[in-house]
Amino acid sequence: MPHIHPKTTPIYQTSVFTFDDLNELELYFGQPGQSYMYTRYGNPNTDELAQEVNKLESGVGAVVTSSGMSAILAAVLAGCKAGDHVLCAEEIYGGSSTLLAQELTRVGIEVTFVPSAEMYTLDNYVQPTTRLLLAETMSNPLLQVFDIARLAQETKRQSIKLVIDNTFATPILTKPLALGADMVIHSVTKYLSGHSDVTAGVVICKEQEDLQRVQRVMMVYGLNLSPFEGWLASRGLKTLRLRMKQHSSNALQIAQHLQQHPKVEKVWYPGLEEHPQHELAKEQGQGLFGGMLSFRIKDDTEAVNRFMQALPSIPFAPSLAGVNTSISYPLGTSHRALTAEQQQKVGITIGVIRFSVGIEEPEELIAELETALAAV
């Protein structure tokens, strides 16, 4: 058979790899990373994805997982056991808070949510058993931007780890490890893959010890990603830089347009000068502000329904970051599990709509929004 040099890695759609003899098996255990045995432990496609994301985030290595949620789980379990304590930003993706508050508490990990205003001085929250702080570069869905260098300074002072969910920003805007974070997580499902056809996650580590722990949790808990999903995500990743530039420039134009609209009461987008962390976001995001924004029309369910129904082609899809624009409704999807009091506290009211800006022509998107807002 001729020697084959594929330009793109083929899909290794196999659950298991073979050995010639016992010597080859011993080599597998003696020199890790030289060969493969079982896809739950590692596969060329998922390894390629891990290596490419790690390169973008400048870590010592990365571990890919079956979803963004399993990436968060792997990062937390890598450093925590029963009896340990975790801090989490109060304003965070609803799924993250549900995982921590409803599931990990059942296995003996204690959780405290820290209000945004107190994130940089954790004296009132850190206990002897506190192991880590989890926060997002840009919060979901109201786009609060955290100063990662300041968070890192405080977590180092407290001798706890800083875990940053960088899904909204991506390494094109912000590299949290370079700013002092210990671990970075992504829902690869979103921007890294970018085409709304993959469910995957990744954890990138600064220290070899953390990497080995995350790797072990992934393998033992069976949080691995399938070869095909790994291949698809690697394919999507190739255009990440181009996509993020277009997402960002579109979102800025749309945020500015919505800000002037009489039927829009408020717009949350770090690219607007009125945004409380605008200067920080500009510096931390290399002048790009990402493709996510939220806005509020009047707090009336029927008005929201009329808006959604009048959109000519933008779908209501409870996810984000695809090349195609979509809208979501935090109150009814991502933050549904929160109590009414918690929802009010973080500012998620009936009229809040989250807008995931795609890479289409901005004029087309603005025309769609005009049509829908006219129906409100």
What are the tens digits of pLDDT across the range 111-126?
A: 999 999 999 999 999 9
Same domain, 268 and 224: no
With a threshold of 0.85, does the pTM exceed it? yes
pLDDT of residue 63: 98
Q: 198: pLDDT confidence band, cut at 50, 70 and 90? A: very high
pLDDT of residue 1: 72
pLDDT of residue 138: 96
Residue 27 clears pLDDT 80, i.e. is over it: yes
Catalytic residue chosen out of the listed positions 131, 175, 190, 206: 190
CA-to-CA separations, 189 to 69, 192, 228, 320, in angstroms, rounded: 10, 7, 13, 9
Neighbours of 63 (CB within 10 A): 32
Residue 129 clears pLDDT 90, i.e. is over it: yes
Same domain, 355 and 263: yes
Q: Where does a domain end: 237, 256, 289?
A: 237
Q: 336: pLDDT confidence band, cut at 50, 70 and 90? A: confident
Give the separation between CA 88 and CA 361, rounded to whole angstroms.
Answer: 37
Same domain, 233 and 245: no
Catalytic residue chosen out of the listed positions 12, 93, 125, 329: 93
Looking up residue 264, the CATH number of its domain turns out to be: 3.90.1150.10
Same domain, 48 and 173: yes
> Considering the domain boundaries, does residue 5 fall inside one?
no
φ and ψ of 338, to 5 deg: -75, 150
Same domain, 129 and 245: no
Same domain, 304 and 338: yes
Give the separation between CA 163 and CA 64, rounded to whole angstroms.
Answer: 16
How many structural domains comprise the chain? 2
Catalytic residue chosen out of the listed positions 47, 165, 182, 210: 165
pLDDT, averaged across the chain: 95
288-305: per-residue pLDDT in tens? 999 999 999 999 999 999
Tell me what percent of the residues of the chain surpass a pLDDT of 90: 90
Q: Where does a domain end: 237, 269, 286?
A: 237
Residue 338 clears pLDDT 80, i.e. is over it: no
130-177: per-residue pLDDT in tens? 999 999 999 988 999 999 999 999 999 999 999 999 999 999 999 999
pLDDT of residue 232: 98
Looking up residue 66, the CATH number of its domain turns out to be: 3.40.640.10
Give the separation between CA 104 and CA 98, rounded to whole angstroms.
Answer: 9
Same domain, 248 and 334: yes
> Considering the domain boundaries, does residue 202 fall inside one?
yes
> Considering the domain boundaries, does residue 14 fall inside one?
no
Q: What range does the domain containing 306 cover? A: 240-375
Nearest alpha carbon to residue 208 among 17, 9, 33, 82: 33
> Considering the domain boundaries, does residue 9 fall inside one?
no
> Considering the domain boundaries, does residue 4 fall inside one?
no
Same domain, 245 and 226: no
Concerning whether 40 is annotated as a catalytic residue, the answer is yes
pLDDT of residue 345: 78
Same domain, 207 and 245: no
CA-to-CA separations, 54 to 57, 76, 128, in angstroms, rounded: 5, 19, 32
**Lowest pLDDT segment from 31-45, 66-80, 115-129:** 31-45
168-181 as b/e, with b when 16 or more CB fall inside 10 Å? bbbbbbbbbbebbb
> Considering the domain boundaries, does residue 17 fall inside one?
no
Residue 4 clears pLDDT 90, i.e. is over it: no
> Considering the domain boundaries, does residue 1 fall inside one?
no
Same domain, 37 and 48: yes
pLDDT of residue 341: 83
User: Between helices 301-310 and 362-375, what is the axis angle to 10°?
Assistant: 140
Concerning whether 296 is annotated as a catalytic residue, the answer is no
Place of tokens 């304003």: 91
Nearest alpha carbon to residue 168 among 75, 262, 284, 272: 284
Same domain, 307 and 319: yes
Catalytic residue chosen out of the listed positions 40, 266, 306, 336: 40
Mean pLDDT of 319-331: 94
Give the separation between CA 44 and CA 168, rounded to whole angstroms.
Answer: 27
Give the separation between CA 239 and CA 193, rounded to whole angstroms.
Answer: 9
Neighbours of 82 (CB within 10 A): 9
Concerning whether 263 is annotated as a catalytic residue, the answer is no
Same domain, 226 and 297: no
Mean pLDDT of 280-294: 97
pLDDT of residue 333: 78
SS (HEC) of the chain = CCCCCCCCCCCCCCCECCCCCHHHHHHHHHCCCCCCCECCCCCHHHHHHHHHHHHHHCCCEEEEECCHHHHHHHHHHHHCCCCCEEEEECCCCHHHHHHHHHHHHHHCCEEEEECHHHCCCCCCCCCCCEEEEEEECECCCCCCECCHHHHHHHHHHCCCEEEEECCCCHHHHCCHHHHCCCEEEEECCCCCCCCCCCCCEEEEECCHHHHHHHHHHHHHHCCCCCHHHHHHHHHHHCCHHHHHHHHHHHHHHHHHHHHHCCCCCEEECCCCCCCCCHHHHHHHCCCCCCCEEEEECCCCHHHHHHHHHHCCCCCECCCCCCCCCEEECCCCCCCCCCCHHHHHHHCCCCCEEEEECCCCCHHHHHHHHHHHHHHC
Are β-strands 292-296 and 352-356 bridged in parallel, bridged antiparallel, or unpaired? antiparallel
Q: Where does a domain end: 186, 216, 237?
A: 237
Tokens, residue 118: 């107190």
> Considering the domain boundaries, does residue 163 fall inside one?
yes
